[in-house]
């Protein structure tokens, strides 16, 4: 049984369709990440599950129960927002204990203490329990905010970019920690972000959204290696996939319906001009520390690929290109399977 | 264009020393990034350059003139904040022209400057539009337009892209840098995002606890970090460190880790027996079955093009960046090869890098 299921859910604000016919089911213990730019409908989806918004059409199920008409408190969910909101006058301990002391729960104080202690250890903030919430660093505050959700044991945790207000450094650390905690506790998480690295490293499955529609749902590897559209292909990968018009490769190099060819950096081989293949010119080499990006000009089109450190390239060099695993897309941007057409590229 | 010079600038708030004697020069026309974690003093430094804070000690020179005590409005510097505030009731033209109207420029002059600025930012087709209906990117461009329309001597930017989508941020990085080059500006830009810094900067100053840790080009800072703090702050994932107990002699070209001699750049200093840390970046670690340096795989993060594999050795954890096509099994025992000419050695107590052939050498080709 799925922990959470959305069945053809739609939600509009005025004339804007924020979420359109969205169906999604999240298994118990699964970490699902919704990835998309601002305005894709990710946050609205979370709010629909939490009960902060009511769908215009469709149903929301939590543990098999239709909750569409229930208020947030009746649904068994915990929400972590982007901006942590802690009670500044309370200690870390009391902030963590707060959700357990709600009159609706009437939890024994010993049980509360045990639970708070457990979560604090998990988040490595047990030594800060006596501190005022305001006497913490940003990373610690966000940990307390996540902890406040974790002390409860809801069916699902809904997280809306919980790491995006943190330093890049801290974000990378908490990313790993959150994944570890989720694995240890076997919790179910629906997590929203526009950061592809967060999605790739934490998700069991990624749902790529655009303009209110769930475009593709799959494991990080599926989404990266077998994107169903040019849009999905361009959401993942650094540097981003190169999308070039098919005619640049020659009419018989690709299946007839193909309009765009997607080339990831690892599928572009650069060799000297005496080798067969399309010719390109090195435009410039960009040093980014761990990666050196080569900007190539293929006819008038720009390609970006990773530089091989043992292959010294400089601006102005002529090179020959070989494309090992191109992805094909049709006029509408949908993927065209390469299986029907092998051996040409 | 302007040259900005800070000489031992310090700032104390009550008993808290936010900036502790910072010295650097931003050359005419350069793009200078101050990078550091929150609380490192970068915003305070920028606010002192702008004249929004007065230093407790030191001097600030703008084109050779001491402006330390001058008011912000007398410095001819434009400040771009993290969150842009546009006037919602005005159209794009009025928003961009606002700073000029405030200074009572002639109508014709305002018109010309605004149109020039809009062309520069490629938003000239939007001039009569209300800002309310614009996309995030175009709003950002309008805000930039308002900053550059006065053609100040220098631009100071406080994480102007911090509030944007990661993907859009990348795009705006390119645009900002290009704009900087086109208008021949001097820019001081602060951020905690190392990718932004690496992508845009001519030079980067890394700050930590009110002090400048290192100043250099992005590649210098990445390849030859002067301290463990810098090595750890730059790079995603950062440099890995292996703890070593050793005595060093000038001319040494290897160091023993877990009884295995590891080749490294020639050391230029004698050091008594002590604790050191050998630093290696993930892309300089590879698997080599025959290597006597052994470790156990404890994690692998799939990133598409590559994967980051974490290996635990007797002396510490290492991260390796490997092609994602390589099959890696958790708990498997692997041999590790470290690229000898790319290793840094740090004094584990002070955290400072030891002088070596790597640090003395010129930049990498």
Token couple for A252: 């018989």
Q: How far is B7 from chain A (nearest CA, A)?
A: 28
Q: Which of A 271-300 lie inside 8 A of B, CB atoms?
A: 286-290
Radius of gyration, alpha carbons of chain B: 24
Look up residue A189 and give its two tokens: 């998480």
Interface of B with A (CB under 8 A): 37-39, 136, 165-168, 192-195, 198-199, 218-219, 221-223, 233-238, 281-283, 301-305, 321, 323-325, 365
Q: What sign results for the dihedral spanned by CA atoms A146, A149, A155, A161?
A: negative
B219, B281, B302: residue with CB nearest A200: B302
User: Pairing relation of β-strands A156-160 and A77-80?
Assistant: parallel
Tell me which of A142 and B166 has the higher pLDDT.
A142
In tens, the pLDDT along A48-93 reads: 999 999 999 999 999 999 999 999 988 989 998 877 778 888 999 9
Report the pLDDT value the prediction gives residue B365, as an integer from 0 to 100: 34
User: How do strand B186-191 and strand B154-158 relate by DSSP bridges?
Assistant: parallel
Partners of A306 on chain B (C-beta within 8 Å) are 305
Q: Is the pLDDT of residue B362 over 70?
A: no
Q: Is the pLDDT of residue B276 over 90?
A: yes
Element (H, E) at A114: helix A109-122
Lowest mean pLDDT among B31-40, B152-161, B264-273, B279-288: B152-161
**How far apart are the C-alpha atoms of B341 and B343, rounded to whole Å?**
6
Torsion-angle region of residue B331: left (phi > 0), alpha (psi -120 to 50) or beta? left
pLDDT number for residue B2: 87
The greatest distance separating any two alpha carbons of chain A, rounded to the nearest whole angstrom, comes to 78
Q: Which residue in B165, B239, B279 has the most chain A C-beta atoms within 10 A of its own C-beta, making it the best mutation to test that interface? A: B165
Compare B131 and B188 and report the one with higher pLDDT: B188
CB atoms within 10 A of CB A41: 24
For B166, other C-beta atoms within 10 Å of its C-beta total 17
pTM of the model as a whole: 0.80
In Å, how far are B194, B227, B247, B248, B352 from B273, measured between CA atoms? 35, 20, 4, 7, 16
Chain A residues close to B201, C-beta within 8 Å: none
Q: In chain B, what is the straight-line distance between the N-terminal and C-terminal CA atoms, in Å?
A: 31
Are B267 and B249 in contact, with CB atoms under 8 Å apart? yes
Which DSSP symbol is given to A240?
Answer: P
Q: Which residue is associated with the tokens 């990661």?
A: B166
Q: Which two tokens stand for residue B218?
A: 């992005």
Nearest-angstrom CA–CA distance, B286 and B337? 5
For the segment B50-61, the average pLDDT, to the nearest whole number, is: 95
Alpha-carbon gap, residue B241 to B230, rounded angstroms: 13
Q: Is there a contact between B264 and B340 (Cβ–Cβ < 8 Å)?
A: yes
Q: What's the CA gap between A205 and A185, in Å, rounded?
A: 18
Residues of A with CB below 8 A from B339's CB? Answer: none
User: Which residue out of B133, B305, B309, B363 would a mutagenesis test of the A interface target, given it has the greatest number of A Cβ atoms within 10 Å?
Assistant: B305
B304 with A237: Cβ contact below 8 A: yes
* Under-50 pLDDT residues of chain A: 343-345
3-state secondary structure of A26: strand
Only one residue has tokens 């930049």, namely B363
Tokens of A257: 């319906």
- Give SS3 for A115: helix
Q: Min CA distance, B266 vs chain A (Å)?
A: 22
Of B306, B305, B357, B312, the closest CA to residue B334 belongs to B312
Mean pLDDT of B177-200: 89
Q: Is the pLDDT of residue B268 over 60?
A: yes
Cα separation, B287 vs B323, in Å, equals: 11
Half-sphere exposure of A7 (CA within 13 A, CB side): 11
Domains of chain A as residue ranges with CATH: 2-234 (3.40.50.300), 242-336 (2.40.50.140)
A299: CB partners within 8 A, 6+ apart: A248
Q: With an 8 Å Cβ cutoff, are A194 and B234 in contact?
A: no
Strands, E, within chain B: which ranges? 4-13, 16-26, 31-35, 57-62, 65-66, 77-80, 154-158, 186-191, 203-208, 211-216, 240-248, 254-257, 260-263, 271-280, 285-287, 294-302, 306-313, 316-323, 333-338, 344-347
Are A148 and A99 in contact by the 8 Å Cβ rule? The answer is: yes
Question: Measuring CA to CA, which residue among A198, A133, A201 is closest to residue A161?
Answer: A198
User: How far is the CA of A263 from the CAs of A246, A336, B255, in angstroms?
Assistant: 11, 14, 43
Burial group, residue A13, by CB count within 10 angstroms (0-12, 13-18, 19+): exposed
pLDDT of amino acid B361: 59
pLDDT band at B192 (very low <50, low <70, confident <90, very high): confident
Predicted pLDDT at B232 = 93
Q: How confident is the model at residue B363 (pLDDT cuts 50, 70, 90)?
A: very low
On whether the CB atoms of residues A192 and A206 are closer than 8 A, the answer is no
How far apart are the C-alpha atoms of A224 and A327, rounded to whole Å?
11
Residues B307-344: tens digit of each pLDDT: 999 999 999 999 999 998 899 998 999 999 999 999 99
Say yes or no for a CB contact (<8 Å) between A237 and B236.
no
Mean confidence (pLDDT) of chain B? 90
The residues near A14 (Cβ < 8 Å, ≥ 6 apart) are none
User: Going from the N-terminus, what domains does chain B have, and what CATH number goes with each?
Assistant: 4-223 (3.40.50.300), 236-360 (2.40.50.140)
What's the mean pLDDT in B59-87?
A: 85
pLDDT for B82: 61
How does pLDDT run across B213-237, given as a tens digit for each residue?
Answer: 999 999 899 999 999 999 999 988 8
């Amino acid at each position: 049984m799925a922990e959470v299921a959305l069945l053809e859910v739609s939600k509009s604000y005025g004339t804007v369709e924020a979420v359109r016919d969205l169906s999604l089911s999240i298994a118990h213990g699964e970490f699902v990440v919704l990835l998309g730019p601002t305005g894709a409908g990710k946050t609205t989806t979370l709010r629909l599950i939490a009960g902060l918004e009511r769908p215009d059409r469709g149903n929301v199920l939590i543990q098999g129960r239709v909750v569409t008409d229930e208020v947030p408190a009746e649904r068994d969910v915990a929400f972590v927002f982007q901006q942590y909101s802690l009670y500044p006058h309370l200690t870390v301990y009391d902030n963590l204990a707060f959700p357990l002391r709600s009159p609706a729960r009437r939890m024994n104080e010993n049980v509360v203490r045990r639970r708070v202690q457990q979560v604090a250890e998990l988040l490595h903030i047990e030594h800060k329990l006596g501190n005022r919430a305001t006497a913490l660093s940003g990373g610690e505050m966000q940990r307390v905010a996540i902890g406040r959700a974790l002390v409860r044991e809801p069916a699902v945790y809904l997280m809306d970019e919980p790491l995006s207000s943190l330093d890049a450094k801290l974000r990378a650390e908490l990313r790993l920690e959150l994944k570890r905690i989720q694995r240890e506790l076997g919790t179910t998480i629906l997590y929203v972000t526009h950061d592809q690295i967060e999605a790739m490293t934490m998700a069991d499955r990624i749902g790529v959204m655009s303009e209110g529609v769930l475009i593709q749902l799959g494991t990080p590897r599926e989404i990266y290696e077998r994107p169903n559209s040019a849009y999905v292909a361009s959401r993942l990968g650094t540097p981003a996939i190169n999308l070039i018009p098919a005619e640049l490769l020659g009419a018989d190099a690709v299946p007839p319906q193909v309009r765009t060819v997607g080339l990831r950096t690892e599928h572009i081989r650069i060799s000297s001009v005496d080798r067969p293949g399309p010719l390109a010119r090195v435009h410039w080499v960009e040093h980014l520390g761990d990666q050196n990006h080569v900007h190539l000009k293929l006819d008038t089109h720009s390609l970006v690929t990773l530089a091989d450190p043992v292959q010294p390239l400089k601006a102005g060099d002529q090179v020959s290109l070989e494309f090992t695993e191109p992805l094909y897309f049709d006029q509408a941007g949908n993927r065209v399977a390469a299986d029907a057409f092998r051996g040409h590229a | 264009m302007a040259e900005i010079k800070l000489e031992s600038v310090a700032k104390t708030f009550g008993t808290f020393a936010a900036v502790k004697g910072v010295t650097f020069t931003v050359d005419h026309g350069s793009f200078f990034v101050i990078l550091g974690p929150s609380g490192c003093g970068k915003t305070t430094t920028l606010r002192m350059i702008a004249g929004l804070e007065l230093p407790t000690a030191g001097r600030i020179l703008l084109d050779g003139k001491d402006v330390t005590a001058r008011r912000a409005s007398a410095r001819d510097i434009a400040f771009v904040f993290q969150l842009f505030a546009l006037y919602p009731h005005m159209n794009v033209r009025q928003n961009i022209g606002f700073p000029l109207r405030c200074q009572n420029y002639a109508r014709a002059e305002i018109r010309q400057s605004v149109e020039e600025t809009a062309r520069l930012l490629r938003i000239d087709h939007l001039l009569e539009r209300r800002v309310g209906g614009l996309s995030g990117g175009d709003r950002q461009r309008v805000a930039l337009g308002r900053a550059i329309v006065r053609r100040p001597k220098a631009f100071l930017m406080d994480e102007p892209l911090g509030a944007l989508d990661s993907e859009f941020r990348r795009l705006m990085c390119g645009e900002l840098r290009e704009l900087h080059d086109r208008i021949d500006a001097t820019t001081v830009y602060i951020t905690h995002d190392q990718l932004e810094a690496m992508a845009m900067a001519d030079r980067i100053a890394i700050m930590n606890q009110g002090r400048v840790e290192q100043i250099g080009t992005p590649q210098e800072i990445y390849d030859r970090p002067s301290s463990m703090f810098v090595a750890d702050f730059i790079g995603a994932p950062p440099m890995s460190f292996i703890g070593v107990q050793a005595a060093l002699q000038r001319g040494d070209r290897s160091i023993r880790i877990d009884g295995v001699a590891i080749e490294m750049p020639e050391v230029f200093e004698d050091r008594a027996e002590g604790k050191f840390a050998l630093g290696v970046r993930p892309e300089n670690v590879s698997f080599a079955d025959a290597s006597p340096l052994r470790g156990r795989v404890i994690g692998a993060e799939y990133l598409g093009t590559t994967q980051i594999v974490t290996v635990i050795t007797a002396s510490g954890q290492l991260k390796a960046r490997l092609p994602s096509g390589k099959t890696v099994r958790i708990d498997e025992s692997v041999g590790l090869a470290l690229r000898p000419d790319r290793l840094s050695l740090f004094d584990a107590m002070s955290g400072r890098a030891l002088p070596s052939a790597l640090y003395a050498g010129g930049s990498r080709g």
